[in-house]
Amino acid sequence: MDFDLMITSFPKLLGATVVTLKLLSASLFFGLFLGLFFAILRLNKNIFINKFAYGYSYIFRGTPLLVQIFIIYFGLGQIEYLRTTFLWVILKEPYWCAIIAFTLNTGAYTSEILRSAFQTIKPGIIEAGKSLGISNKIIFYKIQIPIAIRQSLPAYGNEIILMMKGTSLASTVTLMDLTGVAKYIISTTFKPIEVFIVAGGIYLFMTFIIHNIIKYLEKRYSFQQ
Amino acid sequence: MELLAFGKTGWGDELFYATLMTIAVSVTAMFIGFFFALIFTPLKLSKYKTFNLVGNFYTTVIRGVPELLVIYLFFFGGSGAIMYVASIFGYYEYIEINAFITGSMAIGIISGAYSTEVFRGAIQSIDKGQFEAAKVLGINKFVQFYKIILPQMLRLAIPNLSNVWQITLKDTSLISVTGLVEIMRQSYIAAGSTRDPLFFYSFAAVLYLLLTYVSMKLINKLEARYSRGY
């Protein structure tokens, strides 16, 4: 056990954790909106809209995240037309490519979580709202969405942790996130176990924090209050 | 389409063998995972706190740490660990382990953590009366497990195990970083030599979709089989 290496690599890894957290928060933020948008599309009665939303979530849940990042980072640059548009400013940066891939990926999972949450809302609650003369829009925003959010909290908590682990793939497109730096230190010192303990410890600590925040929110917004 | 031709002109046969490799790694990893689950599920359900601690440590660490980090640990640390064990027995030559074995082991250990959780949940949701009835009838523990608990547990576990299978299948794409030629690695090679990454990575995505689609169909059949009578 090389404790000196563990101590010296800790600040480096902690610095890289900032990149991981940035990637995570950006993709979760955009992914939540994307997920909500596609969940609403899934509930649409029009079969084409419905199928389109289903296709989106099926494709992104059925393929590895690594493929999605590679298509966006290596693949899209190949299209000549894209290089001439303003999109190229974003797509040439690995940082934004990673965020786009993570957003699309987490959006697919979030849309499934929210869809099932919307579907478990008892029809009686919506009927009660209607019979009170509340408009459909307000029923949706003030009744359905809050209930759906509470219903989906446990599953969404899992998704946040999965996404946190997913951000490690950013290291494959040259970003120096926590895993990227860990790999760099391992490949220069050939001490995989020590680095794994430190980097894994940081990841576990983040998992622990996320887990507890979700637990607190679940308790706070539980129905039996 | 020329790019996908079989033989020397295209990448069709290479990608075909790469797909077989992905399937082979996934199946091997899934079985290694079952093996780990078989060890750690009893530990997690044990009466003794120390055993619980060991079981929980395994599932918490593996499920809380990125797969890629675990793979790097095995990739860089695997041969070192084997050489260390060999040096105890007086063997000091360099030992290189096969990428297939390292990859399957890494993915298998990850998959095992998820399988453990699935088995634990399934066993816990079996009615206590089933265990008691078996005890009252004087059935020994072994028969009780194989003839009473296991069939009921499998029915409950199959939907969740199909999720574990999907996770395992997708995780195998990560071992391309160690150089094992599976779908992802082969697409990387093909994309590099033809300068057509968009096509090859999209084709890889299609291959993965095909694998998940076919395996879902098969698992649904299995599920129907184990749900007879319900």
Q: A interface mutation test: which of B76, B84, B177 has the most A CBs within 10 A?
A: B76
Q: Measured between CA atoms, how close is B159 to chain A, in angstroms?
A: 16
The answer to whether the beta carbons of residues B122 and B186 sit under 8 Å apart is: no
A-chain residue closest to B198, CA distance: A75
DSSP state of B184: H
Residue A164 within any structural domain of the chain: yes
Q: B interface mutation test: which of A67, A71, A210 has the most B CBs within 10 A?
A: A67
Reported as a pLDDT band with limits 50, 70 and 90, residue A225 is very low
Q: What is the CATH number of the domain that holds A27?
A: 1.10.3720.10
Task: Give the pLDDT of residue B2.
Answer: 67
Domain ranges of chain B: 24-185
**How large is the ipTM?**
0.86
pLDDT of B38 higher than 90: no
The answer to whether the beta carbons of residues B227 and B154 sit under 8 Å apart is: no
Task: Locate A121 and state its tokens.
Answer: 């809302």
Q: Measured between CA atoms, how close is A64 to chain B, in angstroms?
A: 5
| H or E element, residue B56 | helix B49-64
Q: Do B66 and A204 touch (CB under 8 A)?
A: no
Task: Give the pLDDT of residue B107.
Answer: 95
* Listed residue (B111, B93, B99, B122) closest to B226, CA to CA: B122
* Listed residue (B34, B28, B32, B37) closest to B117, CA to CA: B37
A-chain residue closest to B183, CA distance: A67
The answer to whether the beta carbons of residues B113 and B62 sit under 8 Å apart is: yes
The answer to whether the beta carbons of residues A203 and B69 sit under 8 Å apart is: yes
Q: Each residue of B166-189: pLDDT tens digit?
A: 999 999 999 998 888 999 999 999
Reported as a pLDDT band with limits 50, 70 and 90, residue A57 is very high
Least reliable range by pLDDT among A192-206, B6-20, B37-51: B6-20
Q: Which positions in chain A touch B201 (Cβ < 8 Å)?
A: 67, 70-71, 74-75
Q: Measured between CA atoms, how close is B79 to chain A, in angstroms?
A: 11
pLDDT of A224 higher than 70: no
- Count contacts between A and B (CB, < 8 Å): 112
Average pLDDT of span B190-218? 91
Range of the domain at A26: 3-220
Q: Which positions in chain B touch A74 (Cβ < 8 Å)?
A: 191, 197-198, 201
A-chain residue closest to B165, CA distance: A62
The answer to whether the beta carbons of residues B200 and B210 sit under 8 Å apart is: no
Task: Locate A195 and state its tokens.
Answer: 């680095």
What type of residue sits at position B227? S
Task: Give the pLDDT of residue A63.
Answer: 94
Q: Do B204 and A67 touch (CB under 8 A)?
A: yes
Distance from the Cα of residue B190 to its chain's centroid: 27
Q: Which positions in chain B touch A68 (Cβ < 8 Å)?
A: 205
- Name the region of A44 (left: φ>0; alpha: ψ -120 to 50; beta: rest): beta
Reported as a pLDDT band with limits 50, 70 and 90, residue B144 is confident
Which residues of A lie inside 8 Å of B (Cβ-Cβ)?
A: 58-59, 62-68, 70-71, 74-76, 78-79, 161, 164-169, 171-172, 179, 182-183, 186-187, 190, 192-193, 196, 199-200, 203-204, 207-208
DSSP state of A20: H
Residue A131 within any structural domain of the chain: yes
Q: How far is CA A56 from CA A50, A52, B83, in A?
A: 10, 6, 47
Among A166, A193, A203, select the one facing B65 at the smallest CB separation: A203
Reported as a pLDDT band with limits 50, 70 and 90, residue A108 is very high
By the 10 Å C-beta count (0-12 exposed, 13-18 middle, 19+ buried), B201 is classed as buried
Residue A225 within any structural domain of the chain: no
Among B72, B198, B209, select the one facing A75 at the smallest CB separation: B198
Q: Tell me how far apart the terminal alpha carbons of chain A are, to the nearest angstrom.
A: 50
Q: How many structural domains compose chain A?
A: 1
Contacts of A43 (CB under 8 A, 6+ apart): A115, A118, A119
Q: Which positions in chain B touch A164 (Cβ < 8 Å)?
A: 66
The answer to whether the beta carbons of residues B173 and B208 sit under 8 Å apart is: yes
B99 or A101, higher pLDDT: A101
Q: Do A168 and B69 touch (CB under 8 A)?
A: yes
- Provide, rounded to the nearest whole percent, the portion of chain B with pLDDT above 70: 98
Query: Can you identify the CATH homologous superfamily of domain B24-185?
Result: MetI-like (1.10.3720.10)
B-chain residue closest to A180, CA distance: B69
The answer to whether the beta carbons of residues B197 and B191 sit under 8 Å apart is: yes
DSSP states along A31-94: HHHHHHHHHHHHH-S-HHHHHHHHHHHHHHHHS-HHHHHHIIIIIGGG-HHHHHSTHHHHHT-H
Q: Each residue of A138-179: pLDDT tens digit?
A: 988 888 888 888 889 989 999 999 999 999 999 999 899 999
- CB burial string A57-81: b at 16+ within 10 A, e below: bbbbbbbbbbbbbbbbbbbbbeeee
* B85 touches A: beta carbon within 8 Å: no
Q: Do A75 and B201 touch (CB under 8 A)?
A: yes
Q: Do B69 and A196 touch (CB under 8 A)?
A: yes
| H or E element, residue B181 | none
A-chain residue closest to B75, CA distance: A192
Least reliable range by pLDDT among A33-47, A143-157, B83-97, B145-159: B83-97
* Listed residue (B74, B37, B62, B57) closest to B150, CA to CA: B37
pTM (predicted TM-score): 0.88
A-chain residue closest to B208, CA distance: A63
Q: Tell me how far apart the terminal alpha carbons of chain B are, to the nearest angstrom.
A: 48
Q: Each residue of A121-141: pLDDT tens digit?
A: 888 988 999 999 999 889 888
